[in-house]
Every structure is written in structure tokens, then in C-alpha cells.
């Protein structure tokens, strides 16, 4: 029996070979664009792959239109053109931090950078470059979608339930660590790790849910309840994060004496989340949520400084809202699992709709992106003979916007897949490809290399590494009908990456 790891590697490799074969047969320039679409849309389930493919297609179209607009508006104004392109990339980076359509904005930013930079130097052919990009992206998406539908299809439904359980468990751990910190008046060990795990679980749930709505009938029928679950957990996570940040304002404050019911509150909320996990495991709840009161000691509050008084008052309001949210979360999962006549308290605990408010974390990611892109642009303009020239800007945009969604990931995590990709692609490019004759041999080589990269970097935590390895293979190989070989080209690419990481 083949393992899931082998099956998924085979599917990506087969789609890569087919996409290359069609692009070369049609004699399209830059056949590697179709390969990029396959590499970046390859995920483990049908729904995930189809949703990501759709987001990439729509994002590609939007990015192409925006790039055409910049070329038309700033044909001779270099600095205005660079500023407009950078601002658009920053807007996409900010929007990627939202709860939905992250990959749409990723594809839009990357496509805009590719078309604007490639076509900006050749505005006469800008439209042809944009259309070629769209055609080859559509080809890669279509090929991988068909392969993943007909070859070992995997449904998303069970993964949605598993991700929901992990999200509830991570919020339970975060809540335990946070309330422990409140009782002790200082941060306890494990609080930051619990916070990172909760953020990661919350960010991974929405794409899985969207995929489940695409390929699973049961998830689609209950999508309103599942979307309600997502909204509740999103709001709960935001409250936990805000409370975590506010701990510094409660330092040297005897919180348990100011909130006498804190111990009972912590016990009740922990029990509720435990029951949520139990229901997501398919078991009926052993208890119903009990009422809990978090009183405030007004006499003790008078003795605090104005800043501490405000901090403890806000903390209590947040904890009260968390009480309502966990009640509604229990009711929501009870409705999904059909466990008794639990009532949904949507009016009491649904997240309030407020106007647009800037998110500091997303804004910080956008500022980082602005600085990164401008450093790359200035290096291209003012550093003579910079390896790969404007290509360094395109890759800086792609890597920067990917890292913006994973702030916990260090750049050093890319060193190993980069080295692996350079060694493999260099060996194939210089020693294997010159010996090949015909597409049959070329296709076998593409399949073997792609399979190896997908198999080695199969873990979800290695997704960015797999993308980097496949990108290096595709870029270095430069597969085309009129194939050329140059050690200088390979060495230039290898030299560009350390500069990019710096």
C-alpha cells in the first residue's frame, strides 16, 4: 500500500510533467510559469487544492490588471512607478492578515510584481506578457485540479473536524496559561508558546473550512454553523491576545483579591472547552454550561492607581465577553453534532460589527514589506552588476509576503531547502539535462526531481521549504524548447539568494 506521502508526491510530480508537456507542445514562452502554478497549488485535499487554484487564478487576474494600470499611469516616472507598485504589495500584505482569501492577495501581489517589472521595461509587449502569465497559470491550475480529482482524491471533512478540535484545545491551553498568569501577577512559562499555537491553529482552520465547503456535502450543509464556530473562535482568540498583552498593566496587582470568583471562572471555562473537545470527538457532552459570576471588589479597586484600575476593569469586561462566547461555542458544537436541545445565543455573543480598524500586527507586516521591497529596488538601481537584477525584487516580494503570514518562522528555516534545491537543480541542470533526448526522458527527469522534493519536504511545517526547492529547480533548469546551458547563469542564481536573505 502506498502511503499518503507517496501518493501526494506522485500527484504533484505527474501534474508538473503534464503542465510542462502542454506548455512546450504549444511552444509557449516561460513554460516554468505553468510549473509554478502546479507547485504552489498542490495541497493534500481536493477542496484545498481547488480553492487555492481559484484564489490564484482570480489573484493573477487582479494583479495583471493593476500592473497594466501602473505601466499606463507611470510610463516615464521611475520613482512613482516603484512607489505605486510597492504600495500595492503592502496593501496585499495587509489584506493577507485577514481571516479570508489570504492566497488571493498573495497571488495578486506576486503577479503584479512579475508583470509590472517584466513588462515595465518593455511596455510595448506588456499585454502579451500579462496574457501569457494568465494562460500558463490557468494551465497549471487546470492540470493539477484534474489530477487531484481523479487520482487518489482525499476529502476535507474529517480534517475540518480535526482542525476544529485542535483549535478548541489550543484556546483551552492559552486560556489556562493566561488565567494562571493573572492569578500569579506575572507571565507563566508556556504562555507565549500557547499563544503561538492558538494563532497557528486559528489561521489554519479557515482554509480547511473553505475547502470542506467545496468537497464535503455534510460540511456544506452545516456551513452556517461552522462559519459561526469560526467567528466565535476568532473573537475568542482576539480577546485572549488582548488580555495577554494587557498583563504588563496588571503587574504587581493582586488580581485574585480584586476578582474573587476568578478560580471558579477558570474552572468553569476549562470544563466548557473540554466538553467542546469531547463533542468534536463524537461523544455526547457530560454536562451543560453552568452560570459563573466574576464579581469585582470595588473597595480594593479604589486603592489602585488610575492605570491599574482601568486595566483591571477592561480585563473583567473581556473575561465577561469570553464567558458569553464559550457558552455560544458550546451551543454551536452541540448543534453541529446534534447533541441535545442546546440553544444558540447568537444575539448575546456574536462578535460585534465595528468599522474598519487598523490592525497593528498587519500594519507592522506591511511596513516590513515596504522596507524589504525598497531595499531590493535601491540595490538594483545603485549596485552595479547585482546578480539577476530585477529578479531579486520579484523573489523578495514572493518571499516577503509569504513570511508575513508566518511571523514565527525564521529566515534561517529556508537555508536547508535552499541548499538542497541548489545542489539538486545544479546537478540536474549541468550534468543530467544535456544528456537527455526527447520529452520522454525530460518528463522522467522532471517527475523524479519533483517527487524527491515533495517527499523530503512533505510536512505542513516544511511547506515554504518545498516551495523554495521547487522554485529553484524550475528557475535553474529553465526548461524550454530552445534549451541553453550556462554555468554562469546557475552561479548567478546561487549568489543572488544569500544577498536576498541578508
Query: Tell me: the pLDDT tens digits for 125-162?
Result: 778 877 887 888 888 888 887 887 788 877 667 778 88
Q: Is 190 helix (H, G, I), strand (E, B) or coil?
A: coil
Instruction: Say if residues 131 and 439 touch (Cβ distance below 8 Å).
Output: no
**Residue among 378, 180, 375, 383 nearest 262 (CA):** 180
Work out the average pLDDT over 410-439: 85
pTM of the model: 0.66
Q: What is the pLDDT of residue 442?
A: 93
Whether residue 345 is predicted with pLDDT greater than 50 in this model: the reply is no
Distance of CA 96 to the CA centre of its chain: 8
**R_g over Cα of the chain:** 26
* Better-predicted residue by pLDDT, 360 or 348: 360
Residue-wise pLDDT for 203-257, tens only, equals 778 777 877 776 677 887 888 888 899 889 988 888 888 777 765 556 556 777 7
User: What average pLDDT does the segment 189-209 reach?
Assistant: 80
pLDDT band for position 185 (50/70/90)?
low
Residue 170 has pLDDT above 80, yes or no: yes
Please tell me the distance from the alpha carbon of residue 279 to that of residue 65, in angstroms, as a whole number: 47
Residue 252 parent element (H or E): none
Mean pLDDT of 464-484: 83
Percentage of residues in the chain having pLDDT higher than 70: 85
Residues 279 and 361 sit within 8 Å (Cβ to Cβ): no
Q: Per-residue pLDDT for 105 more than 90? A: no
- What's residue 14's pLDDT? 93
Amino acid at each position: 500500500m502506498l502511503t499518503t506521502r507517496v501518493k501526494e508526491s506522485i500527484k504533484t510530480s505527474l501534474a508538473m510533467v503534464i503542465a510542462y508537456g502542454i506548455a512546450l507542445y504549444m511552444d509557449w514562452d516561460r513554460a516554468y510559469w505553468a510549473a509554478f502554478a502546479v507547485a504552489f497549488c498542490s495541497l493534500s485535499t481536493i477542496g484545498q487544492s481547488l480553492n487555492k487554484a481559484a484564489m490564484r487564478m482570480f489573484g493573477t487576474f487582479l494583479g495583471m490588471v493593476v500592473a497594466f494600470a501602473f505601466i499606463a499611469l507611470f510610463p516615464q516616472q521611475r520613482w512613482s512607478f516603484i512607489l505605486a507598485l510597492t504600495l500595492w504589495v503592502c496593501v496585499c500584505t495587509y489584506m493577507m492578515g485577514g481571516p479570508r482569501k489570504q492566497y488571493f492577495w498573495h497571488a495578486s501581489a506576486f503577479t503584479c510584481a512579475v508583470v509590472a517589472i517584466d513588462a515595465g521595461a518593455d511596455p510595448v509587449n506588456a499585454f502579451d506578457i500579462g496574457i501569457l502569465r494568465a494562460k500558463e497559470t490557468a494551465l497549471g491550475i487546470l492540470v493539477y485540479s484534474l489530477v487531484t480529482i481523479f487520482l487518489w482524491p482525499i476529502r476535507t471533512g474529517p480534517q475540518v473536524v480535526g482542525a476544529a478540535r485542535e483549535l478548541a484545545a489550543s484556546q483551552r491551553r492559552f486560556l489556562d496559561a493566561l488565567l494562571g498568569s493573572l492569578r500569579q501577577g506575572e507571565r507563566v512559562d508556556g504562555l507565549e508558546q500557547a499563544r503561538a499555537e492558538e494563532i497557528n491553529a486559528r489561521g489554519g482552520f479557515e482554509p480547511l473550512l473553505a475547502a470542506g465547503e467545496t468537497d464535503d456535502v455534510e460540511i456544506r450543509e452545516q456551513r452556517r454553523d461552522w462559519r459561526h464556530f469560526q467567528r466565535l473562535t476568532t473573537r475568542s482568540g482576539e480577546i485572549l491576545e488582548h488580555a495577554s498583552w494587557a498583563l504588563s498593566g496588571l503587574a504587581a496587582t493582586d488580581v485574585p483579591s480584586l476578582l474573587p470568583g476568578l478560580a471558579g471562572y477558570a474552572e468553569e471555562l476549562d470544563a466548557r472547552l473540554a466538553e467542546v473537545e469531547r463533542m468534536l470527538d463524537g461523544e455526547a457532552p457530560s454536562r451543560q454550561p453552568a452560570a459563573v459570576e466574576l464579581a469585582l471588589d470595588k473597595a480594593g479597586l479604589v486603592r489602585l492607581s488610575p492605570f491599574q484600575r482601568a486595566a483591571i476593569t477592561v480585563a473583567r469586561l473581556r473575561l465577561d465577553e469570553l464567558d458569553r462566547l464559550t457558552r455560544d461555542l458550546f451551543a454551536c458544537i452541540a448543534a453541529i453534532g446534534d447533541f441535545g436541545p442546546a440553544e444558540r445565543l447568537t444575539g448575546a455573543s456574536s462578535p460585534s460589527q465595528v468599522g474598519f480598524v487598523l490592525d497593528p500586527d498587519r500594519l507592522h507586516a506591511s511596513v516590513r514589506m515596504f522596507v524589504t521591497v525598497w531595499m531590493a529596488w535601491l540595490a538594483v538601481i545603485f549596485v552595479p552588476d547585482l546578480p539577476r537584477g530585477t529578479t531579486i525584487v520579484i523573489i523578495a516580494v514572493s518571499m516577503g509576503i509569504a513570511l508575513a503570514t508566518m511571523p514565527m518562522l525564521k529566515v534561517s528555516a529556508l537555508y536547508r531547502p535552499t541548499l538542497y534545491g541548489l545542489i539538486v537543480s545544479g546537478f540536474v541542470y549541468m550534468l543530467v539535462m544535456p544528456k537527455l533526448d526527447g520529452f520522454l526522458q525530460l518528463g522522467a527527469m522532471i517527475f523524479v526531481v519533483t517527487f524527491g522534493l515533495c517527499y523530503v519536504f512533505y510536512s505542513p511545517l516544511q511547506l515554504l521549504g518545498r516551495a523554495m526547492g521547487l522554485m529553484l529547480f524550475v528557475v535553474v533548469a529553465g526548461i524550454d524548447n530552445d534549451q541553453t546551458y550556462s554555468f554562469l547563469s546557475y552561479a548567478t542564481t546561487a549568489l543572488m539568494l544569500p544577498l536576498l536573505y541578508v
